[in-house]
């Protein structure tokens, strides 16, 4: 089916998801309002148990956001002033921001071109006597190369914190994200595959001592009320959010499969219209022995910014993740990294474009998107660059 009729296709349509589960969500919220247990109530404990089992970990600790999950994980390791943490410059700001908030230094190493994840070949070059941890990002829903990352960590005695904010349910060699390092950090921001009605986060680990410390750190460092073993923060997952997430959690794998099916359909459609192999679009790569859950479907696009405008004018929502790499952010100028320092990441900032991939997206909508992209490269600015 091909149509030139104008459609309106948002980047993400949370209303389409909600309408199928609205009654269940409302019942869950009413139950919390009825029992009035808003802080670390039974729904929080139940969700922690469910996420721990799902991620194949012994422990899961709820917190207020994915950003706090990263911060708490670093705090639990005692990372602070003068320490270094190796991470990716191609990620959401919280990845590096959490490091700097504790007085530590983010050591950026470039990404792998094909997966957008940190290049494991670069990690050992960055290790110094100040290095305390590696913080790989499972970007867009695909796990980083954890075998090689963990090998480097083991060699140098480093902790590994998985930034799995976009990757709940993703697998690497048959193991779930969140179980692949010392700790895994998740976000329940509404746009995530498992998203709440606001902020929320979770940390997973198999280390009972770290789990106990994390539970204390999220409540101002207190194991017992008014008795503080650490200087922690206030970062608790709300019971209302946990109740909503427990409803949505039942559909997580079904929704992930819908995203994967949409990703497969995109691949076929782009090939059918001749946009790959030099036609203007590079499709995302699924790494060997990995299961991608497509929090985002990110292509590399020639003349990306012009294409994005072209699509916006035709009712299609897209997003650029990320327009400026972290090492070039003004707040990190003290690191002394200039343009050209991370060439693969910088190239990605100029080419990456996320297309709608939410599970409720229909085949006709995807055909419309791909056909409008084909129009751009055949008849618009993109076509000139493609000669």
CATH number (domain holding residue 92): 3.40.640.10
| Residue 5 domain flag | no
| Residue 7 domain flag | no
CB 262 within 8 A of CB 297: yes
Please give the DSSP secondary-structure letter assigned to residue 319.
B
| Residue 321 domain flag | yes
Tokens of 197: 């009605």
**What is the average per-residue pLDDT within 338-358?**
98
197 with 258, same domain: the answer is: no
Looking at the chain, the whole-number percentage of residues with pLDDT higher than 70 is 97
120 with 231, same domain: the answer is: yes
Q: Which of 210, 232, 249 is the last residue of a domain?
A: 249
Is pLDDT at 387 greater than 70 in this prediction? no
| Residue 319 domain flag | yes
Tokens of 252: 């997580």
Over the stretch 207-261, which tens digit does the pLDDT of each residue have? 999 999 999 999 999 999 999 999 999 999 999 999 999 999 999 999 999 999 9
188 with 335, same domain: the answer is: no
| 385 confidence band (pLDDT: 50, 70, 90) | very low
283 with 301, same domain: the answer is: yes
| Residue 229 domain flag | yes
94 with 223, same domain: the answer is: yes
User: What is the domain extent for residue 300?
Assistant: 252-385
| 103 confidence band (pLDDT: 50, 70, 90) | very high
239 with 285, same domain: the answer is: no
135 with 210, same domain: the answer is: yes
Q: Which of 192, 218, 249 is the last residue of a domain?
A: 249
212 with 290, same domain: the answer is: no
The chain-wide mean pLDDT, for the chain, equals 96
Rounded to 5°, the CA angle 82-151-285 comes to 100
| Residue 2 domain flag | no
**What is the average per-residue pLDDT within 184-190?**
98
83 with 200, same domain: the answer is: yes
219 with 245, same domain: the answer is: yes
What residues contact residue 156 under an 8 Å CB cut-off, 6+ apart? 124, 127, 131
386/262: higher pLDDT: 262
Q: Give CA–CA dist 379/71, Å, rounded.
A: 48
Q: Give CA–CA dist 4/375, Å, rounded.
A: 10
pLDDT, position 372:
98
What residues contact residue 358 under an 8 Å CB cut-off, 6+ apart? 12, 13, 16, 17, 258, 259, 262
> Inter-axis angle of helices 66-76 and 94-101, to 10 degrees?
40
Is pLDDT at 383 greater than 80 in this prediction? no
pLDDT, position 382:
57
122 with 152, same domain: the answer is: yes
Classify residue 302 as exposed, middle or buried by CB count within 10 Å of its CB (0-12, 13-18, 19+): buried
Is pLDDT at 2 greater than 60 in this prediction? no
pLDDT, position 381:
59
CA 338 to chain CA centroid, Å, is 26
Is pLDDT at 148 greater than 90 in this prediction? yes
CA distance to 9, 266, 304, 356, per residue, from 376 (Å) = 17, 17, 11, 18
Q: What pTM did the predictor assign?
A: 0.96
Residue 172, classed as helix, strand or coil, is strand
| 295 confidence band (pLDDT: 50, 70, 90) | very high
Classify residue 31 as exposed, middle or buried by CB count within 10 Å of its CB (0-12, 13-18, 19+): middle
| 3 confidence band (pLDDT: 50, 70, 90) | low
Is pLDDT at 152 greater than 60 in this prediction? yes
- Whole-angstrom Cα Rg for the chain: 21
Q: Which of 249, 281, 310 is the last residue of a domain?
A: 249
Pairing relationship of beta strands 84-87 and 105-108 according to DSSP bridges: parallel
CB 254 within 8 A of CB 47: no
| 287 confidence band (pLDDT: 50, 70, 90) | very high
Classify residue 371 as exposed, middle or buried by CB count within 10 Å of its CB (0-12, 13-18, 19+): middle
What residues contact residue 360 under an 8 Å CB cut-off, 6+ apart? 13, 16, 17, 258
pLDDT, position 379:
83
Half-sphere exposure of 213 (CA within 13 A, CB side): 16
What residues contact residue 98 under an 8 Å CB cut-off, 6+ apart? 67, 70, 71, 74
222 with 256, same domain: the answer is: no
What residues contact residue 313 under an 8 Å CB cut-off, 6+ apart? none
Domains: count for the chain: 2
CA 348 to chain CA centroid, Å, is 16
**What is the average per-residue pLDDT within 176-196?**
98
| Residue 378 domain flag | yes
Q: Give CA–CA dist 124/86, Å, rounded.
A: 10
The CATH number of residue 270's host domain is 3.90.1150.10
| Residue 10 domain flag | no
**What is the average per-residue pLDDT within 316-339?**
98
Measuring CA to CA, which residue among 245, 276, 263, 275 is closest to residue 363? Answer: 263
Over the stretch 50-75, which tens digit does the pLDDT of each residue have? 999 999 999 999 999 999 999 999 99
């Amino acid at each position: 089916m091909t149509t030139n009729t104008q459609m309106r296709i948002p980047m993400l349509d949370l209303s389409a998801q909600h309408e199928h589960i609205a009654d269940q969500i409302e019942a869950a919220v009413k139950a919390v309002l009825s029992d009035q247990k808003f802080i670390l109530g039974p729904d929080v404990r139940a969700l922690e148990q469910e996420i721990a089992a799902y991620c194949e970990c012994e422990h899961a600790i709820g917190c207020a956001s994915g950003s706090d999950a990263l911060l708490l994980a670093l705090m639990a390791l005692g990372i602070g002033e003068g320490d270094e943490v190796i991470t990716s410059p191609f990620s959401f700001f919280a990845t590096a921001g959490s490091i700097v908030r504790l007085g530590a230094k983010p050591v950026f190493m470039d990404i792998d071109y094909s997966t957008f994840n940190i290049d494991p070949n670069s990690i050992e070059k960055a290790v110094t006597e100040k290095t305390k941890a590696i913080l790989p990002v499972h970007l867009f829903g695909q796990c980083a190369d954890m075998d090689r990352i963990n090998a480097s960590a083991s060699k140098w005695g480093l902790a590994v914190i998985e930034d799995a904010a976009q990757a709940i349910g993703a697998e690497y060699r048959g193991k779930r994200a969140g179980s692949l390092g010392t700790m895994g950090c998740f976000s329940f921001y509404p746009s995530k595959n498992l998203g709440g009605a606001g902020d929320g986060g979770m940390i997973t680990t198999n280390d009972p001592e770290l789990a106990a410390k994390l539970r204390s750190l999220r409540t101002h460092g207190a194991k017992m009320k008014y008795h503080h073993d650490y200087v922690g923060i206030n970062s608790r997952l709300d019971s209302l959010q946990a109740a909503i997430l427990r409803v949505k959690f039942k559909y997580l794998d079904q929704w992930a499969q819908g995203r994967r099916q949409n990703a497969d359909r995109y691949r076929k459609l782009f090939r059918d219209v001749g946009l790959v192999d030099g036609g203007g679009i590079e499709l995302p790569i699924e790494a060997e022995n990995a299961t991608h859950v497509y929090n985002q479907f990110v292509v590399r696009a020639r003349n990306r910014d012009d294409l994005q405008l072209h699509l916006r004018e035709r009712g299609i929502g897209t997003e650029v993740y990320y327009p400026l790499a972290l090492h070039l952010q003004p707040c990190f100028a003290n690191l002394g990294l200039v343009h050209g320092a991370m060439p693969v990441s910088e190239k990605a900032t100029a080419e990456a474009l996320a297309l709608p991939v939410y599970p409720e997206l229909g085949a006709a909508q995807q055909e419309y998107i791909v056909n409008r992209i084909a129009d751009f490269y055949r008849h618009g600015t993109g076509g000139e660059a493609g000669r």
